Amino acid sequence: MIVNSWNEWDPLREIVVGSADGAHFEPTEPGNRPTIRNAPVGTPFPTGPKSPEAIDRANEELAGLVALLESRGITVRRPDPHDFGAPVRTPDFEVPNQYCAVCPRDVMITVGHDIIEAPMSRRARYFEYRPYRRLVYEYWNADPRVTWTTAPKPSMDDDMYRQEFWDWPVEERHRRMHSFEFCITQDEVVFDAADISRFGRDLIVQESMTTNRTGITWLKRHLEPRGFRVHPVHFPLDYFPSHVDCTFVPLRPGLVLTNPERPLLERDARLFHDNDWELVDAPQPTTGNDEMPDFCQSSKWLSMNVLSLSPTTVVCEEQEKPLQDLLDKLDFEVLTVPFRNVFEYGGSLHCATWDIHREGVREDYFPNIAYRPLV
Ligand code: ABU
C-alpha cells in the first residue's frame, strides 16, 4: 500500500515536504495575533507577501532536507502551487490573504490507510489543504484501500473565538492553567493535525489554541470504531499551546522526547508510566526565545521538532548540538540539516513534512490500559 503510516518512527518510505513558494505573512485575526520578536509593543506585524529573499532562503533549506531524504532512498513529494495572496471571504469571515504550504503536518495526517484533512483553527489557513489535493487524489485513485476523510469545517465566525485570551496577563494564564481554555471556544469542531501524535493503536491529542475538546470528540468518534484509542493530553505550563510536536515527541517504541518546561499532566502521564515508556527531557535549545527569527511565531522548542526516519535514525536541526549529543547517547544515528530559515514559516523538520508511507503495521504499544471508548 502506498498510504500506510501508523506511528511517528517506523522506517520512512514516502513523505511530503512543504514549500515556501508564494508564502505570505499570516494576518492578524481572532485566532492569531502575530507579533515581531523584540519589537516595541504595538509595532504592527508586516502584511502581504514574504520577501523573495526570505522565500529563497527557506526553499534552499527545504531542498536540503529533500536531498537528504532522497539520499536515504525515501520518495519525496511536494505541494502544488497555491495563490496565498488571494483573500478568503466566506459568509462568516474575511481575511486579506492566506499563509503558506511550508507545514503540511499542520493540516494533513495519515492514520494507517486513512488520510485526514484537519478542519484547522485559523481563517488564513482555511484553504491550506488545497496544495495537497492533487496528491490526495493520486493516492486515493491508486489504491481502493486508501480512505480520505475531510473533517467538518468550522464557521470561524467571531463567536468561535475567545478574543480576550490574547490580553490575559501571565498571572491570569497561570491561574487558568488547568482549565485548558484558550483562544477557541468549544462550540464547533476545531483541530490542527499537528496536535495529534500517533502511537499505533493509540493517538494522543493536545488540547490547545488550535484544537478544542469538540475536535477531540470528533476524532474519537471517527477513530474509535476503526479500532483506535484517542487520548487527550495536557501540558498545563504551556500557556500558548499549539501543535504537540515541540512538546512531546515519540522517537521509538518506549521512548518519548519531552519538553522540560512543559511537563505532561500527571493524570495523562499514567498511560506512559503504566506501560513502561521512558520520558526523556530534551536539553535547552541553543537559542533563547528572544534569539529566534524576528517573524517566527513559534517557540525556541522548534529545537526538538525532529523527524524520525526509522526507530534508529533521526534528523535534527544542524545547530542543535546538545540535542544531537543526547540522541547519540540514546543510540540514534543522528543526521543534520540547516533549517533555521524555515522557522519563520511556523515549524521545523517534523512540521514541514507529512508522512505517507512508513513500513510496519498497527501495533499496541500500551497493553496496560483502562480505556473507556466514547461509543
Ligand atoms: N508549530 C509548532 C510550534 C510549537 C511551539 O511553538 O512550541
Tens digit of pLDDT for each residue in 286-308? 999 889 999 999 999 999 999 99
Rounded CA gap, 170 and 324, in Å? Answer: 33
By three-state DSSP, how is residue 223 classified? helix
Region 169-185 average pLDDT? 97
Can you name the residues that pair with 200 across neighbouring β-strands? 364
Nearest ligand 1 atom to alpha carbon 259? 7
Averaged over 306-331, what is the pLDDT?
A: 98
The pLDDT tens digits of the residues spanning 190-200 come to 999 999 999 99
Q: How far apart are CA 48 and CA 208, in angstroms?
A: 27
- CA distance linking residue 149 with residue 126, whole number of Å: 16
Cα(58) to ligand 1 centroid in Å equals 17
Q: How far is the CA of 96 from the centre of ligand 1 (A)?
A: 24
* CB of residue 209 inside a 6 A radius of ligand 1: no
Tell me if 104 CB under 6 Å of ligand 1: no
pLDDT at 290: 87
| Set of cell numbers at residue 42 | 504595538
Any atom of ligand 1 within 6 Å of the Cβ of 352: no
Q: What pLDDT shows up at residue 253? A: 98
Cα 145 to ligand 1 centroid, rounded to whole Å = 33
- pLDDT, position 213: 98
Work out the number of other CB atoms within 10 angstroms of the CB of residue 328.
13
Give the model's pLDDT for residue 374.
85
Residues paired with residue 109 on neighbouring β-strands, in sequence order: 116
Q: How confident is the model at residue 372 (pLDDT cuts 50, 70, 90)?
A: confident
CA distance 276 to 269: 11
CA-nearest of 365, 154, 155, 368 to 251 is 365
The domain spans of the chain are 12-151+257-358
Question: Which residues are part of the catalytic machinery?
Answer: 192, 243, 351
For residue 102, pLDDT beyond 90: yes
Cell of 261: 518546561
Whether residue 301 has its Cβ less than 6 Å from ligand 1:
yes
The whole-angstrom separation of Cα 78 and Cα 63 is 10
Across all residues in the chain, what is the average pLDDT?
Answer: 97
The CATH classification of domain 12-151+257-358, taken from the options 3.40.50.150, 3.40.50.970, 3.40.50.2300, 3.75.10.10: 3.75.10.10
Q: What is the mean pLDDT of residues 258-273?
A: 98
Does residue 304's CB lie within 6 angstroms of at least one atom of ligand 1? no
pLDDT at 275 over 90: yes
CA distance 117 to 135: 12
Count of C-beta atoms within a 10 Å radius of residue 260: 11
pLDDT tens digits, one per residue of 7-48: 999 999 999 999 999 999 999 999 999 999 999 988 999 999
For the CA of 242, the nearest atom of ligand 1? 4
What is the average per-residue pLDDT within 164-182?
A: 96
